[in-house]
Amino acid sequence: MTDWDPHRYRRFETERTQPAVDLLSRVRRKTAKLVVDLGCGPGNSTELLAARFPEAEIIGIDTSPAMIETAQARLPHCRFAVADLAAWRPETPPDVIFANAVLQWLPDHAALLPRLMAHLPAAGTLAIQMPDNLGAPSHSLMRSVASQGPWADRLAPAAADRTILPPLDDYYDLLIRHAETVDVWRTTYHHPLASAAAIVDWVRSTGLRPFLNRLDPAEQEEFLKRYQASLEEAYPARADGLRLLGFERVFMVATRVG
C-alpha cells in the first residue's frame, strides 16, 4: 500500500480543515496540559489545537511517515510520532483526544471508542469527526466503476476498507456510558469545485486510495477516466459553472465525569 500524499491532501486544506475548526469550537474546556491529535495528517488539525491550547504539550500521531514529516516541519514545537492509533496507549492521560477525519478508517468503533474514553482523565474530552459520505455519488460511483471493470475481483476488498457508520443515536449510547456529557451532530458541507476533475483530485488522496493502490498505472488511468466521466453527470455544473461537492460529516464530543 503506498503512503498518503501530504501535498495532494493539502490541495484542499482549507475545506478539509473547516470541520476540525467546527469540532474544536464545540470543545468547551479552556485549558489543557496535554492534547493528542490522532491521525494528525500534515498537521492542519494539530495547528488548530496548538493555537487553541498554547500552554499545552501537543502530540500528533499518524501511521503515515510522509504525513508525520510534513507535520513536524510545519510545527517544530509539537511532538509527532508514526504510530497506529489502533494499538496506541498514551504514556500520560491526555486532557483532550482529538480525532478529525481518521476513525472512519478503523473498524469496531463499539470497542475503539470506549477504549479511547478510558485513556482520558476525569473531565477529559474526546472529540471526533468522521466523513459519513459512503452513500454520496462521489463514493458510490467509485464502487460502481470498481465492480464493472476488468479489475472487479481485485477491487472487491477495496470497497470494504470503510464500512457505513451506525446512526448517531448509537454513538450517543456508546459514549454516554463513559461520559458525563455527549454532544453529537451532523453537518453537510457543500464545496464549490472547479470541475469533475477537481472532485477526482479531492478524493484521490483519501477515499480513492484503497482502489488505486490495487491497480497498476495504466489501470489507474483507465479507472480515473471512467470515474471522472460518471462524476460529470452526477455533479452537473451550477449557475456559475462550478460543481457542488456535498460532503456529510458526523461529529461527537464526549466529556468524562469531572
Q: Is 85 in the site for ligand SAM (CB under 6 A)?
A: yes
**First-last CA distance in the chain:** 42
Distances (CA, A) of 246 to 36, 226, 250, 252: 29, 20, 14, 20
Nearest distance in Å: CB 106, ligand SAM: 6
Instruction: Name the residue among 137, 168, 155 with its Cα closest to residue 209.
Output: 155
Q: Give the one residue of 133, 138, 206, 255 binding ligand SAM; rule: CB under 6 A.
A: 206
DSSP string of 187-198?
Answer: EEEEEEES-HHH
Binding mask 88-107 for ligand SAM (x = CB under 6 A): ------------xxx--xx-
Residue 209 makes contact with ligand SAM by CB under 6 A = no
Give 253's strand partners.
127, 183
Q: Is 165 in the site for ligand SAM (CB under 6 A)?
A: no
Instruction: Please give the grid coordinates belonging to residue 171.
Output: 454513538
CB closer to ligand SAM, 21 vs 244:
21
Tell me if 251 contacts ligand SAM by CB under 6 A: no
DSSP β-ladder status, 243-255 and 181-193: antiparallel
The residue sitting closest to ligand SAM, measured at its beta carbon, is 41
Region 22-41 residues binding ligand SAM, contact defined as CB under 6 A: 39-41
Given a contact cutoff of 8 angstroms between Cβ atoms, the answer to whether 80 and 60 are in contact is yes
The amino acid present at 76, given as its one-letter code, is P
| Binding of ligand SAM by 47 (CB under 6 A) | no
Q: How far is the CB of 43 from ligand SAM (least distance, A)?
A: 8
Asked if 66 and 8 count as a contact pair (C-beta separation under 8 A), the reply is no
Residues that bind ligand SAM in the complex, under the rule CB under 6 A: 4, 16, 20, 39-41, 44-45, 61-64, 67, 84-86, 100-102, 105-106, 206
